Every structure is written in C-alpha cells, then in structure tokens.
Structure 1
Amino acid sequence: MGARAVLIAAVSSGQGKTTVTAALARKLAQAGQRVRVFKCGPDFIDPMVLQRASGAPVETLDLWMVGRERCHQLLAQAALEADTILIEGVMGLYDGTPSAADLAREFGVPVLAVIDAGAMAQTAGALVHGLRDYGPVEMAGVIANRIGSAGHAAMVQASLRGIPLFGTLPKQGRSLPERHLGLVLPHEVAGIDDLLDELSAQMTFDAAAFAALPEIRFEAAAPAAQPEPLLAGRTIAIARDESFLFVYHANTELLRQLGARIAYFAPLNDEPVPADADAVYLPGGYPELHCERLAGAARWRASIRAAHAAGTPIVAECGGMMALADALADGAGHDWPMAGLLPGRVTVQKKLAGLGPQALATPQGVLRGHTFHYSRLDTGAPVIAHTSKNPSGAQGEAVYRVGSLTASYFHAYFPSNPAAVAALFSRSEA
C-alpha cells in the first residue's frame, strides 16, 4: 500500500507550517484528491484547523507518546484511503526527542521545507541545504512563505540549487489568528472556510512536480490489539464546549473501545453532569476565557459537586482542573469562583508554566502524554504522584487526588496505556 507523503517542517515555530499545510490540504482537496493530514507531536488546536482544511479527521503521530507501532498503523491505514498524506511537523525539524526528523526517517517520508522568506532571498538556499544535510533527511522540496513578488520568488528558487520550489505564498493580509496557547479555534474565526479558500487560491503550486514524487510504500501493519472491555456498560460524561475542547480524537475512541458509552454535556450552557454518568472526564481548554459564565453556571457546579460527593470518578486535565479549583484569577485582575472541589487558586500568567512530553507511572504501567499551560495552581491538595519529563526524567507535573477526583496539568494520551485509563475511570480506583 502506498501514497504520496511529505512531512512539512521548518527551521522553527512561527514560519507558517500550519498555514502552508492547511492551504496545501485545501488546494489538493479542491483538486479532487483524497487527503489525510497528521500532526507531529502533542497538539490540540492545529489538528482542528487541519481537519477543517482537509475535511478528514487529523490524528497525532509521535514516536514516543503515540509509539512507533501505532504511528505505523495510522499511516498504513491512511495510505489505503488517501492519495496524499501530509504530516505537519512540530517546532523546528530537529527539535525535540524524538523530533519530526526522526519520524520522517523512521517511515521514509521526505521533508517539504517551509521557509519564511519575508526578510531573505538567496540565503533561503543555505537554510534549506542546512536543514537537509544536518540530519540528514531526504528533502522533497520547498514552499516559500511571505513572498513579496515574482522576482523575489525567482531569487529564492535560484538559491535552492536543484531542490524543487513546489510553491509560494504571498505576505498575507489575513492570516490564521493566534492566542496564548496557539491558533484561535476554527469555529471562533469568522469566515474560516473563506479564509482557507483564500489561502489555497493565493498559493502558487507546481502540481505536476508534486505529483511526480514517488509514492511511499507503507508495509501492512499488524492489526491493532483490541483492549479488554474494562469499561463495558459504563457511561462516561465528557465536558465539551468552548471551555473544554482539548481532547485527542484517539482518547474518546479508546474509551469506546474499552466499552464505555460517551455522553457529552456543556458546562458553559449550565448543563449538569448527566444523571447516568458512571465517571466524568473534564479535558483541557480555555476556562480562563469564560470565567464569568462558568462562575454563573450554578447547575453545573452543583452537579459536579454532587457527583464528587457520590464517589463518581472524575478525571480533570489542565483546563478541566482549573475549573474545579476554589477560584480562578483570569489575569485581568478578577477572581472568579469555580466548582471548589480542589482547594486553592489558579492564576493565569503571561509566562509559560509548563511545556513538553511527560509520563506518569501507574500500577498498570506508564501512561504517556504532555503538558502545556500558562497558569499555576496554588493548592494544599494531596499529591499522589508526579509525572516525569521526557527525555530528562526530571520531575514534572503534580497529580492531585481529592476523594474520587484525579486532577493534573498533565494531558494523557489514552492509547499509550488502556489499562491505566480504565483504572482512572473506575470507581474502585477512585
């Protein structure tokens, strides 16, 4: 099984990888191609944008967090369904352990380099050749972002010395807006589909040269082992609204594979925890942007307190944990009362407080994931464990346990350890 595949990478964050990947995915889809997009490394927001651009679900690829076997399974399945596979890298091409370059080499995927050429011309060639040779990696070609004119594009192309320039994007009058955790969520951007169409139209692209790239052959992967139905017959209530959005697609699928029924509810709409919930999952998101609504959601707050009092397992990650503290300081001088299951106060700050891959040791083995937050929690709640940072092994995020509540800034990637996840959502563990 094979498909045309490239890993879209850059020298650093901020070069326009997501914009280029989204524009290219939309352009290929408009041309009638079946496109599958993946995101390299932990990320919640970029996959939402890329899913909107491509029209297909976007999964995570990461040799450490997801694991080589599952990455292989996802790519092999995509090759059966798609004409083209686009993998957006993370940070710079060689950043992280493992890096996007490691993923490209592992599966024989060539790199499509994105360069921000807005303030350079011939130096683009030195940059691209350095990216290719440092690893080395196979360099498929280049897309130059923020090109000022046809003459500028010609200078960049000449500097590449035989490496194909597949396309360019001009300096954009409109671009994908950002905030402190990354891009603004797609449904919050007015006219997002028009913007993606505009980016697609603005991209000059050598479709024939791209089509000439050889297909990547992905050997048939061994079927994924189905987890035991350890949550069969149980209903897991998952908070889902503008405040609780950061969930790996693979996490909800794993809960279903474990036998659970999923029931969604929206705390921002003051919806209570479903009465038949056997466990509650409060994922991350942006509670700091919706403090007033959360503070005023009396039914939701009463229902989560009642679930906690009844011993219902509650798993709260990052933003989900923030909404359960006594108070949330929004960074603008206001303190807002939250659900009050976790003693203490969360303060939103401008300085990054946690970032990177981490692992949690559990009785069922290691559960892998990551952390990324700009707030801090000051609490006297009992700490039952700390995660460990990858690859250093240094102490990472605290994991708090208050009654049936397990809370942390740690975002777990559930497929990395299904048995540990089942235990977290089981009453006996809670």
Structure 2
Amino acid sequence: MVKALLVAAVSSGQGKTTVTAALARKLVRLGRRVRVFKCGPDFIDPMLLERASGAPVRSLDLWMVGKELCAQQLAQAAAEADVILIEGVMGLYDGTPSSADLAREFGVPVMAVIDAGAMAQTAGALVHGLRDYGPVEMAGVIANRVASEGHAKMVATSLRDIPLFATLPKQARSLPERHLGLVLPGEVNGIDQLLDNLADQLVFDEAAWDRLPPVDLAMPASAAAQPALLAGKTIAIARDPAFMFLYPANLDTLRAMGATLKFFSPLADQPVPTEADAVYLPGGYPELHAEQLSQAATWRASIRAAQAAGVPIVAECGGMMALADTLTDQQGATWPMAGLLPGAVAMQPRLAGLGSQGLPTPQGVLRGHTFHYSKLATEVEPAAYTIKHPSAMQGEAWYRVGTLSASYFHAYYPSNPAAAAALFLGSVK
C-alpha cells in the first residue's frame, strides 16, 4: 500500500509538469521516498521529473506500454517508495486511452492542477466537471499561478467538497521550452535551485496529505522471462545532446534479451565502436547541432562504413534526420549529414507529426509514437507504414536502405521484444 496520485488538468499548458516537479521535490525534502511516472509517450518531461525526484521515471500508457507492464512498474515502485506521482498527458480525458482511463484502471485518485491566474470562483465549476464527467476519484486540487492568500481562499471556497491541496504562485522564472517541449534539464543553468524554489513556494497542506488513503498496487502474475534473442550481440547506441530521446525501458529490453550496450557520441565525433553488431540512433535534437554534426567527419565515415559492412542500423526520428543527405535547420541553413538515406530534411514552423502508432512486423505490431517538427523529402519508397492509434489510418513511412531501418516512428520495445530484436538482427525486411 502506498500513497499515489495522478496529477492531471483540463488541458496542456496548465502547469502539470511544473506542479508535479515541485510536489516531488517538496516530498523528497520532507523525507519521503518518491517515484514519479509520466502518462503517455514523452521523453523530456521524465528527464525533469527524474531530476526533481532523484529516481528513474518510466512511462505508463495502457495502449503503448500495456496494462500488465504498467501494473508491474507501479507495483515495483510501491514496494520501494512511500509516494507515487503520475503526471497525466494533455487533458484528463484526452486520448484513447486517457489519463482518466489509467487512473480508473489502477484505482489511483486524481489531483487536479488548475491555472487559477485568470479565475477565482469558476475554479469550482471546472474541477467538479473534471471529477463528474468520467467520473474519477478526485483527491483534491493544486491551484497554479495564485496571486494572493485571498485569491487562494476564493478558489478553496468554490471547490465545496473537494479540498484545495496546495497552491503555487505565478513564477518569475518559468521552465524554458522549445519546439519539442521543455528544454533538457542539463541545459538549464541552476536547474536544482529552480526546483528547490518551486518546492519552497508550493504552499502545501501536510494534514490533507496525511489524510490521503493508500492505494493497493499489487504485483501481477510474473511475466515470462525474455528469450535471449540478442545474446552475444553488442549494440552501439548514440547518446549525447543530439540523440537523447529514447525510452529507458528500451535499453532494459535489449539487455534482457542478452545484448551488450555500448554508448558513443556522434557530436564528439566518436566513431561507431568497431565491435558493434548493430547500431541504434535514437531521436533527439540534431537540428540544434546540425553544424557540429556536419563537421563530425569521423562519425560520418564510420556510420557509412558500418552500413557498407552490413551492420544493421536502426534510426528513429532525429536519428533518421542525421542520416539524410542534408538537414535544413530552423534558421534556414542547410548542412550535410551522413547520407545513408537519400533525401533532404527540413524543419517546419508547425508540428508535422504527433500521436500513438504501431508498426506491423512479422512478429506482430511494435507499438510507439511519433512527434516531430521536420519533414523528409525523399524518392525512396517506404517499405511499410505505421498505423495510427486509434484511427487505424496510415501513419509514418518506414524506410529500408540496405541494412538501415529508418522512420520518424519512436518504437517502445517492451511492447514487442521479438520485433525489436529482429530490427537489430537485420531480419525485418
């Protein structure tokens, strides 16, 4: 039994991530052992929440991750922590499945975050609607951007039978953002001081916290051990500020199947390790580092040599962008890339792809998502397309060029380990 909350809101932009980070840091400083999860596909928010809580942050999603693995992760966290916080995605009822679906599935009460900066008594109508529409179990409210103690009292009175759990004032310094979301924590000067300041400013009702009932998150039946499909294989993985977006669970899955993982940095012009049996280029921000990547002659030569030698290469989103002929950044400058995938990538002013998708493979569907602000112009014919969830419409193109598998699609390997292994063995055609 553990105290658990799903932190949700009426929409994006209400301050869920800021409030979740502030609450996690506050509880850690009060001596609680805190584990945080992120609902839905996301790479950047978990990095910030990990910094705030001091513990790994994993994904929960009833479709992409699956009910069984969600249950296993929650139960494991419950055995190790006093508190579990789950940051929702978008609005409470947005998506199929939604954050509300996850909360109901595991009996986790909802803590509603509201942006009270431009409202007072209407907060009650908003929160009661959030509670009753589903319905969901509403543990309480955290009001963000509260102007004064009097403002907080008006909000609290409007909530009637729902407690005001905490308030956070408008911030003089907010968490910086860019086109794919928050700026990476390691790029923010004084990030820990910023998180401490948020925790200090969170006016927190400890008595209300103590009254929260515990949640029973029991461990489901043990899952079968992963077959050692990658035993004896070494997978080289790009990891640096240009290639940061990958699910930690993907690495766990590769290791569970027997792979040895070796990391290298294309930005530092490090070559693909010579012992690599396969290469994994995850997503990230190559557009922010295009000039440096274009000058990384050793890296570019080594990835071309790996392809020529028949080494399987898996490139997702930013990884694919770095393997095109050219990349045009947001300032309009065009830079030469590694040239394994004929074509030109150009950044776009608007979102070019977003949502949950699945890739059909001989081993079954490999689930994941897409989220990008660039487009690839290429004459290469796609070998396959992902399928959007839940619409079942055609999704992202998936390319095969020699031993290269490349797409804007980010795969979540635990959803189908056999399909993931096939990618790195070069057996998916």
TM-score (norm 2): 0.99
Which amino acid is the alignment partner of residue 202 of structure 2? M
- Mapped partners of 1:410, 1:111: distance in 2: 31
Mapping for residues 208-357 of structure 1, pairs under 5 Å: 208-357=207-356
Corresponding residue number in structure 1 for 2:202: 203
Corresponding residue number in structure 1 for 2:30: 31
Corresponding residue number in structure 1 for 2:145: 146
Offset at 1:66? Answer: 0.2
| 1:418 aligned onto 2:405 | no
- Mapped partners of 2:202, 2:340: distance in 1: 50
Mapping for residues 8-407 of structure 1, pairs under 5 Å: 8-407=7-406
- Mapped partners of 1:54, 1:225: distance in 2: 31
| Amino-acid identity (%) | 73
RMSD: 0.7
SS at the partner of 1:372? Answer: strand
- Mapped partners of 1:413, 1:48: distance in 2: 17
SS at the partner of 1:288? Answer: helix
Change (3 A) 1:428 1:104: closer
SS at the partner of 1:217? Answer: coil
Which amino acid is the alignment partner of residue 295 of structure 1? S
8 A Cα contact 1:358 1:387, kept in partner: yes
Offset at 1:429? Answer: 4.1
- Mapped partners of 2:65, 2:185: distance in 1: 25
Deviation digits for residues 374-412 of structure 1 (CA, Å, limit 9, x no counterpart) = 000000123110000000000000000000000000000
- Mapped partners of 1:351, 1:88: distance in 2: 25
- Mapped partners of 1:427, 1:53: distance in 2: 39
8 A Cα contact 1:382 1:402, kept in partner: no
8 A Cα contact 2:361 2:428, kept in partner: no
- Mapped partners of 2:70, 2:425: distance in 1: 28
- Mapped partners of 1:8, 1:428: distance in 2: 42
Offset at 1:221? Answer: 1.5
SS at the partner of 1:269? Answer: coil
- Mapped partners of 2:428, 2:362: distance in 1: 11
SS at the partner of 1:267? Answer: coil
8 A Cα contact 1:314 1:425, kept in partner: yes
- Mapped partners of 2:33, 2:278: distance in 1: 38
- Mapped partners of 2:312, 2:324: distance in 1: 17
SS at the partner of 1:74? Answer: helix
- Mapped partners of 1:105, 1:78: distance in 2: 18
- Mapped partners of 1:226, 1:321: distance in 2: 32
Offset at 1:220? Answer: 2.5
Deviation digits for residues 346-377 of structure 1 (CA, Å, limit 9, x no counterpart) = 01011110000000110001100000000000
- Mapped partners of 1:15, 1:265: distance in 2: 37
Which amino acid is the alignment partner of residue 38 of structure 1? F
Deviation digits for residues 127-183 of structure 1 (CA, Å, limit 9, x no counterpart) = 000000000000000000000000000000000002010100000001111000000
Which amino acid is the alignment partner of residue 396 of structure 1? G
- Mapped partners of 1:193, 1:231: distance in 2: 39
Offset at 1:225? Answer: 2.1
8 A Cα contact 2:238 2:282, kept in partner: yes
Which amino acid is the alignment partner of residue 287 of structure 2? E
Deviation digits for residues 88-126 of structure 1 (CA, Å, limit 9, x no counterpart) = 000000000000000000011100000000000000000
8 A Cα contact 1:237 1:265, kept in partner: yes
SS at the partner of 1:216? Answer: coil
TM-score (norm 1): 0.99
Which amino acid is the alignment partner of residue 44 of structure 1? F
SS at the partner of 1:407? Answer: strand
SS at the partner of 1:227? Answer: coil
Which amino acid is the alignment partner of residue 140 of structure 2? G
Which amino acid is the alignment partner of residue 229 of structure 1? A
SS at the partner of 1:115? Answer: strand
Change (3 A) 1:93 1:428: closer
SS at the partner of 2:267? Answer: helix
- Mapped partners of 1:224, 1:178: distance in 2: 39
Offset at 1:271? Answer: 0.3
* Equivalent residue pairs, number: 429
8 A Cα contact 1:46 1:183, kept in partner: yes
- Mapped partners of 2:125, 2:200: distance in 1: 29
- Mapped partners of 1:221, 1:33: distance in 2: 25
SS at the partner of 2:69? Answer: helix
- Mapped partners of 1:153, 1:331: distance in 2: 42
- Mapped partners of 2:303, 2:378: distance in 1: 19
- Mapped partners of 2:5, 2:201: distance in 1: 21
8 A Cα contact 2:175 2:182, kept in partner: yes
Offset at 1:331? Answer: 2.3
Deviation digits for residues 288-320 of structure 1 (CA, Å, limit 9, x no counterpart) = 000110000000000000000001000000000
- Mapped partners of 2:321, 2:221: distance in 1: 40
8 A Cα contact 1:73 1:224, kept in partner: no
- Mapped partners of 1:427, 1:214: distance in 2: 50
- Mapped partners of 1:34, 1:328: distance in 2: 44
- Mapped partners of 1:371, 1:108: distance in 2: 29
SS at the partner of 1:262? Answer: strand
Offset at 1:250? Answer: 0.1
